[in-house]
Structure 1
Amino acid sequence: MTRPKSSPNSLAWLWLIVGAAVLTQTSINLLRPVTSYKLLSMGFGETAIGLATAVYALLPLFMAMPFGRLTSKVGSLRGLMTAGGVLIGLGGAILALAGQAWLIMVGSAVLGVGHLMFTIAGQSMISRRSLAHQMDAAFGWFTAAFSVGQMTGPLLSGLLLGNVSLAVAQSSGAGLGQSITLALWIGAAAAVLSAPVLFVLRPLPDPTTSQLRQVPPAGAEKPTMLSIVRRPGVASNMLASLALLAILDILIAFLPLVGEAAGVSPLAVGVLLALRGAASVVSRIFLPMLVRRYRRSHLVLVSLFVSALAIAMVPFTLQLEGAFWAAGVLISLGGLTLGLGQPLSMTLISQAVPYAWRSPALALRLMTNRVGQVVLPVAAGVVAGPWGPGGGVWFACAMLAVSGTERLINHRTGPNDENRDADSN
């Protein structure tokens, strides 16, 4: 295969990363809701689904910082991104073959490690290759690819599982076992397809220079977890990122439960999750224009508060006869605002630390996200016990509101937010 030629200013590398991200995120966002349906078909409920969601983040919680330091030392990140995609495919295969709950937990853990590898390597490549004025757009396109996967994955899962609820399918004696297994294999295959896409990714025009820029000068402060968090605005942006990612995880795991309780089919749940992803794609495409007009801190606040309010209403509307369209409107509004927070938090954290700290800082951001992904789904599962499946979604929305309130109280916006025009020149 011939690799495309590129000049130092070419963005061919970005579009290849975006293409690979679409494949891996389509895989993950197909596999995870189908995993919930597989657990339901095996007789498990909210607690097991919350546990599977937490296990997905458990190993990455301990691997994020060491892996971030590794990415800051290697010259080419293509191999690490490729390995991440292959691991996601392996996790999907384990889920497809699993006949017991503990194997589903193993598959979820492998899936989480693959996602971590792909995401940290991709974020580090963007922070390493992008000029200052390109960074919002580059992170926006990268996370837009994630949103495309969050749109296509659930939609594919819904189409594969059909327009009949699991309870109805089981009462008829047919069940959804074969459809669930087929969907899991398709998800695994989509992730593996990212490998040939990344194979054509060229190295940096001058990798030696790039590596030297990643090495701090002698005597410089080292990027420890404490030194990174102490940088102005970093902790606040990490809390926002944690809350924003947690609601995506809880939605994809618990919305099938909410839908099943309301008699809504897997196809309808898939459509709702796809609408959320599609809306985030739209907001991320327009992110560079929004950043030129509005302060990043204000956009993050909008992301936190509006998405919390809109998504909290979705479980209520699904219970109402003929109000599915209202659930679609609300989750789309939530998706529009959710799409802003993640790329902006990446930019704010990247620009709040020295250049050589960017990979460890983004890795720490992912590690804190994984803390949330371990703790919050389990807590959501506990809340969903007395409050029903909707309680897990409301819990995640409350976390968004807490993060937004913290930003208002402490006025922590980060040092570069005031100079958004300066770093675009």
Structure 2
Amino acid sequence: MRPGGNRGWLLRLVIAFSFAQGAVSMARPAVSYRALALGADERAIGVIAGVYALLPLFAAVPLGRRTDHGRCAPLLPVGVVLISGGCALSGVAGSLGTMALWSGVMGLGHLCFVIGSQSLVARQSAPHEQDRNFGHFTIGAALGQLVGPVAAGALIGGADMAGSSALALLVAGATAAVAFTSLWRIEHRRTASTSRADKSDRVPVRGILRTRGVPAGIFISLAVLSATDILTAYLPVVGEHRGIAPSVIGLLLSLRAAATIACRLVLTPLLRLLGRTLLLTVTCLLAALLCGGIALPVPVWALALLLVALGFCLGVGQPLSMTTVVQAAPDDARSTALALRLTGNRLGQVAAPAAAGLIAGVAGVAAPFVMLGVLLLVSSGVALRSPREPEEPEEPDPAVGPEAGGEGRTGEGRAVRRRLGRGVPLRRKGDI
């Protein structure tokens, strides 16, 4: 199956990602509430949130190397098993240490699923479709982030905070398991067979990181994901200090996710209007200002408006940073480059919550959002200096495209033979 063909696989991947991400998004605030019920303070919450990213930090590049030289699909069920198990076992854990451990297992499962699925999108999409397909793919994450916090907020509450948060974690484990139903025939056999390259030809990690565009994509992704992660982990703490009920906090987090979905649905016209570089720069700058606004003691309705605007701005960074990294990286190291991007994400998820915990312990629970504002402000400068995206190619003529059955990505072999048979002079490659 050629890249850019039948996109049924993409729909199934979005559905599976919705359930997997929904489970994680339900579990993350539930872990925070259960830890609070077990006696954790702001620093302990930061440590537990950081451990979620610690195990994946060391596994990302080896998994990316394996995917560059093999199939992507096997990582998906492995990820679902680890997410489901990590959620459920966090719910029955009786100490902060074991909660941190199972939170790390959950993070490792999420990493496996994301590396496999992002590599599938990169491998099975034509270059001019990657912005769109990555945007559609990340709708699955946003759907999970929309439903997960609402479900957690509905289940958590009352006098027995420890018991209700444990129930939410068990439900999250069952939700992750539903993702299995959409993982059938998700990887095209021909695409998988052509992905196997000689392992001796591996591009060094240092060489990938030196490729222009890769560091920019990694840093932007780190900043945007850190903002999303700290919002998920620390908004419950803000709610506790400001007297906002868990159900309202869950609704606020879901409003943020809904705005992210809306952003990704209109991503293609936004790209046509502004281009990738300017769109990344403007949205990161606006997100920095909005994070600073969350630190202010505003009423709930104003906080909701801030989170909706912030969710829309943060919706741009993830899919476009994926495309930036994929198109900048060597062809036979795309999964490794995506894994390096995820390693940067995990570094941010380890360092940002830990730093947020320290800052919150010293300067108050609103201070981490100021830190996020600074990080996003720097990322807007990085986006402005990133390489300009290539012009979008013209739509291929169906008579000479892959539908004609020609060789390669554009069917040029058969098109050439048809022109020669009709006596039509060949154009130069640059004219096609």
Give the whole-Å Cα distance in 2 for the aligned partners of 1:388 and 1:401. Answer: 21
Deviation at 1:61, TM superposition (A): 0.7
- Equivalent pair of 2:325/2:337 in contact (CA under 8 Å): yes
Change (3 A) 1:6 1:351: closer
Give the whole-Å Cα distance in 2 for the aligned partners of 1:388 and 1:423. Answer: 53
Q: Of the candidates 138, 143, 146, which is equivalent to residue 141 of structure 2?
A: 146
Give the whole-Å Cα distance in 2 for the aligned partners of 1:124 and 1:202. Answer: 12
1:61 and 2:32 are equivalent in the alignment: no
- Map Cα deviations across residues 113-141 of structure 1 (whole Å, 9 max, x no partner): 00000000000011010011211111101
**What 5-or-longer segments of structure 1 have no aligned partner?**
163-168
Q: Of the candidates 149, 160, 163, which is equivalent to residue 178 of structure 1?
A: 163
Give the whole-Å Cα distance in 1 for the aligned partners of 2:4 and 2:266. Answer: 25
Match of 1:231 in 2: 211
- Map Cα deviations across residues 49-71 of structure 1 (whole Å, 9 max, x no partner): 10011101111111100000011
Q: Of the candidates 298, 307, 312, which is equivalent to residue 331 of structure 1?
A: 307
Match of 1:136 in 2: 131
> What is the aligned-residue RMSD (CA, Å)?
2.0
Give the whole-Å Cα distance in 2 for the aligned partners of 1:349 and 1:407. Answer: 12
Matches for 1:277-296 after TM superposition, within 5 Å: 277-296=257-276
Q: Of the candidates 182, 187, 194, which is equivalent to residue 210 of structure 1?
A: 194
Match of 1:388 in 2: 364
- Equivalent pair of 1:47/1:381 in contact (CA under 8 Å): yes
Residue 125 of structure 1 aligns to a residue in which SS? helix
**Identity across aligned pairs (percent)?**
37
Change (3 A) 1:40 1:7: closer
Change (3 A) 1:404 1:216: farther
Give the whole-Å Cα distance in 2 for the aligned partners of 1:124 and 1:283. Answer: 23
Change (3 A) 1:50 1:8: closer
- Equivalent pair of 2:34/2:165 in contact (CA under 8 Å): yes
Q: Of the candidates 7, 11, 34, which is equivalent to residue 15 of structure 1?
A: 11
Match of 2:40 in 1: 44
Matches for 1:72-111 after TM superposition, within 5 Å: 72-75=68-71, 77-111=72-106
Aligned length: 396
Change (3 A) 1:202 1:184: closer
1:375 and 2:351 are equivalent in the alignment: yes
Give the whole-Å Cα distance in 1 for the aligned partners of 2:181 and 2:2. Answer: 18
Question: TM-score with structure 1 length normalisation?
Answer: 0.89
Give the whole-Å Cα distance in 1 for the aligned partners of 2:293 and 2:325. Answer: 31
Match of 2:405 in 1: none
- Map Cα deviations across residues 122-163 of structure 1 (whole Å, 9 max, x no partner): 00011010011211111101111101111111111111124x
Give the aligned residue type for 2:321: S
Structure 1 residue runs of 4 or more that deviate by more than 4 Å after TM superposition: 5-8
Larger CA Rg, structure 1 vs 2: 2
Give the whole-Å Cα distance in 1 for the aligned partners of 2:222 and 2:4. Answer: 34
**What 5-or-longer segments of structure 2 have no aligned partner?**
397-432
Deviation at 1:73, TM superposition (A): 1.6
Matches for 1:208-357 after TM superposition, within 5 Å: 209-212=193-196, 215=197, 222-316=202-296, 319-320=297-298, 323-357=299-333
- Equivalent pair of 2:13/2:186 in contact (CA under 8 Å): no
Give the whole-Å Cα distance in 1 for the aligned partners of 2:281 and 2:141. Answer: 21
Give the whole-Å Cα distance in 1 for the aligned partners of 2:122 and 2:242. Answer: 44
Deviation at 1:235, TM superposition (A): 0.9
Deviation at 1:234, TM superposition (A): 1.4
- Equivalent pair of 2:69/2:198 in contact (CA under 8 Å): no
Residue 13 of structure 1 aligns to a residue in which SS? helix
Deviation at 1:223, TM superposition (A): 2.2
Deviation at 1:202, TM superposition (A): 4.2
Give the aligned residue type for 2:121: I
Give the whole-Å Cα distance in 1 for the aligned partners of 2:51 and 2:333. Answer: 28
Question: TM-score with structure 2 length normalisation?
Answer: 0.88
- Equivalent pair of 2:291/2:372 in contact (CA under 8 Å): no
